[in-house]
Structure 1
């Protein structure tokens, strides 16, 4: 419980923090200072876009979607928490702007990148180990999930991580993280046992449910607002049983049956068998037209001819017009499934994203898809490389109970809901603004439709937030959680270093 004294103190300091404004240091000067700080190290750690470091700079500048790429003044590659500490102290002291990147899978330019400033690339913080006595995995924040899964499966365990194995560990976990095990274990962020984090003053601390426990809770959904997390200790899941994942397509003619079964799963199926996990999606492109689809997984032995009861309607013909069924992993491993999905969702394509949530309602599902189809005009379909996806996924009672059992998070979800997102992709940079505007139109109209029938849920998932939702994401967590985040922000970052000097990302209101 937050005391009134802490609340008043917090707001007083927020006002002081926002009044603390200095002119940012010239980014070229900052890069020179950083280079001098690490000049004596055995290997280079600061790379500028110069002939001497051109190849290193280019390889470190890659992002999953080119729509999110920005060219930093220089790129810093720390190899341990002490390196990060020295750099953050310098940035704070010299008023240098910077960005933090784990895997660079954000859809939004500036969220894991920067133009006039230093990019801190965590890619060399890539240690992975498993402790069989505690059952915990120690994972460097710069890892990608493909490497984490590969290392841990040798011990017949895994962790709650990305469904696309190319995702970076740090941003995924601090934003929430939806995993194939979510119906059984909650958000991936709920399965963090502890973090090693570098604070604004350069101090390196460990936060968990006992030490710095309020900060620890705020980190779960707090993104880049409190410090640079350099290592996660994660709870593990038994992976001795097979893992299954399938991508299934249905024709547009199957809409009524498809949406009916989707509604049933959203209102009970995910709780009936938490080994199951489904994303319901549809796509539109000029070449393929309209198609229904789903990504379904099952974390146990699975037979498509005799599936688990909760998944039977998606395999047995209850939904007519199945057009494809592709196994990502048939009685295999989570690494096989997530690696194949990362291949299908190949890097190098331009993407945008927008998200919101609703309470399950069959008629509303159809209304929202009608809005999406209406906004997907012929002019958009004619754009080079255009395809659009409209997807939704339930959060059920067991997901929420698993989150609560592990100490809770910042999200403020109190009853089941359905997350919704729209995601276009395209080829040309000249179409970026058009696609972002399209994403926003679909999202806003769908939100209005949900509000009109009393089915709008305030929550918006941070990892799926669009660039124009900057002021919507964290406020959607609810007043009590926002207040907790504000109070702990003042306590752990009183000069608002990770608000002022780290311009990208979804920020805590007031910072």
Structure 2
């Protein structure tokens, strides 16, 4: 009898999800606490975003809804990282207090055909990514649970958290999860897009460390996705972004963690050749990095407006604390260099380290992110650096009171790629890669809206020239890291045709009417980027 029950239980877990053929939005909304009047039902087809906002306020309280003219509207908008996002005015912002309220918001958007966006941390750079003009913005800030289960192996995390919140809650318990490296980045976007961590060589990416997702579907159902329950959706959410439903809880593997070691070493840019060589050696495991997976390394370049100088930065992070004045042996080669002009490496908490990363790019300025991937190669790093310098140096002479161009390189190591096969794999299309890969991330922060086209035109040229250099050197790779992509790049296409076809099939199964594809247009959906190059007048 016990065996039979196990079989029945297992069948229930893996049974296929399907929207009911007689699905009734009004009935489902009523079960979620939203009662639509008969008159309004009769007007179905003419209902709009204002009706959706009114219904949410009436059903869940006016304090949960913010509209233009209210102090809460400006306050909630200020929580977006980039000026482009905070200057986008929705019809209203809604803060659900639980999964059922989030489900009601999705259903009301579907009923009224109101375009919507979903905000976790709001750290995307371009307008529309997690806030939508004249539509419904669902702000998940109140879904901020951080709960450790009894055996300390799994942490339940609400998408309204930012990573500093998560680490601060776990540090007293000497635990951590695989998550973001910047304090103000939200849990939801980073994890659904992949999620590179300080500990990715030890444990993989954030998406590969999720045990279960709680998901609101386009039908307003609240379901779980794991290796045994809706496993196709589980696979798709591991890198496929916000294309399949609204995730209201992430259950993540927990790992023991106390203090760690890390920081930045800043040099004059003249050291770039030596730094690049050491970085490539580290990424290829030539100096013990394979044997010791506790470390993470980034090299980056920036322009310091205060001193009008170009700088090279070596960011080094290590999972194990070090005695004062010491560094991990795995980083010996990086310390065999001239003395830096600045050095913040020391033992500290993970939460403190994320605040240091956060300080360089504060809220409230204009931002842009761009990315490409290559096979790890010293030549392409040097060429990309030269291209970026040639194109951005003229920008530094513009009359911006604030500007901060940055070029960063990091490695997708073979150990990270191996973790991508865990529990059925992820959607990123990288398992099977035989060589480490290089992610390039170009960013720019500035304060003058009048400079938007000039900055974006410049970075579009940088991207085009970098692709051409990679083609000439034979090191281009199709992968585009979603969390660094600009609004004209197509991360889903970069996962490869097999992965994209599977993602489209999952979308059709869990969202047959295309709610998350048609009504959530601002981020990276399955059929293309938010803007095509032809729509962007500044794109080459």
Same fold (TM over 0.5): yes
Taking structure 1 as reference, are residues 379 and 81 closer, same or farther at Cα in structure 2, changes over 3 Å only? closer
Tell whether the 8 Å contact from 2:204 to 2:419 is kept in structure 1 after alignment: yes
Structure 1 counterpart of 2:36:
none
- CA distance, structure 2, for counterparts of residue 450 and residue 403 of structure 1: 25
1:387 aligns with 2:404: yes
1:419 aligns with 2:435: no
Taking structure 1 as reference, are residues 432 and 128 closer, same or farther at Cα in structure 2, changes over 3 Å only? same
Tell whether the 8 Å contact from 2:144 to 2:161 is kept in structure 1 after alignment: yes
Taking structure 1 as reference, are residues 112 and 37 closer, same or farther at Cα in structure 2, changes over 3 Å only? closer
Taking structure 1 as reference, are residues 91 and 366 closer, same or farther at Cα in structure 2, changes over 3 Å only? same
Taking structure 1 as reference, are residues 368 and 25 closer, same or farther at Cα in structure 2, changes over 3 Å only? farther
- Measured against aligned partners, the alpha-carbon deviations of 1:397-451 in whole angstroms (never above 9, x if no partner) come to 1111122234321111132201001111111111112112212211221111011
1:484 aligns with 2:498: no
Structure 2 counterpart of 1:132:
150
1:45 aligns with 2:64: yes
Tell whether the 8 Å contact from 2:226 to 2:234 is kept in structure 1 after alignment: yes
- CA distance, structure 1, for counterparts of residue 459 and residue 56 of structure 2: 43
Structure 2 counterpart of 1:247:
264
Structure 1 counterpart of 2:187:
169
Taking structure 1 as reference, are residues 173 and 26 closer, same or farther at Cα in structure 2, changes over 3 Å only? farther
1:301 aligns with 2:330: no
TM-score by length of 1: 0.89
Kindly report the root-mean-square deviation, in angstroms, between the aligned alpha carbons of the 2 structures.
Answer: 1.9
- 1:89-488 to 2 correspondences below 5 Å: 89-133=107-151, 135-240=153-258, 242-268=259-285, 270-286=289-305, 287-303=307-323, 305-315=325-335, 318-327=336-345, 330-384=346-400, 385-413=402-430, 414-415=432-433, 416-469=436-489, 472-488=490-506
- CA distance, structure 1, for counterparts of residue 308 and residue 321 of structure 2: 33
Structure 2 counterpart of 1:57:
73
Tell whether the 8 Å contact from 1:190 to 1:407 is kept in structure 2 after alignment: no
Tell me the secondary structure at the aligned position of residue 173 of structure 2.
coil
- CA distance, structure 2, for counterparts of residue 218 and residue 152 of structure 1: 28
1:134 deviation in Å? 5.3
Structure 2 counterpart of 1:19:
none
- CA distance, structure 2, for counterparts of residue 400 and residue 450 of structure 1: 21
1:345 deviation in Å? 2.6
TM-score by length of 2: 0.85
1:41 deviation in Å? 3.4
Tell me the secondary structure at the aligned position of residue 44 of structure 1.
helix
- Measured against aligned partners, the alpha-carbon deviations of 1:255-300 in whole angstroms (never above 9, x if no partner) come to 2211111111121154242100011101124543211112110000
What are structure 2's unaligned runs of at least 5 residues? Answer: 1-43, 530-540
Taking structure 1 as reference, are residues 438 and 510 closer, same or farther at Cα in structure 2, changes over 3 Å only? closer
- CA distance, structure 1, for counterparts of residue 262 and residue 221 of structure 2: 42
- Structure scoring higher RCO (CA < 8 A, sep ≥ 6) equals 1
Tell whether the 8 Å contact from 2:53 to 2:65 is kept in structure 1 after alignment: yes
- CA distance, structure 2, for counterparts of residue 338 and residue 273 of structure 1: 23
- CA distance, structure 1, for counterparts of residue 262 and residue 50 of structure 2: 45
Tell whether the 8 Å contact from 2:73 to 2:93 is kept in structure 1 after alignment: yes
- Measured against aligned partners, the alpha-carbon deviations of 1:459-491 in whole angstroms (never above 9, x if no partner) come to 01000000121xx21100011110110110100
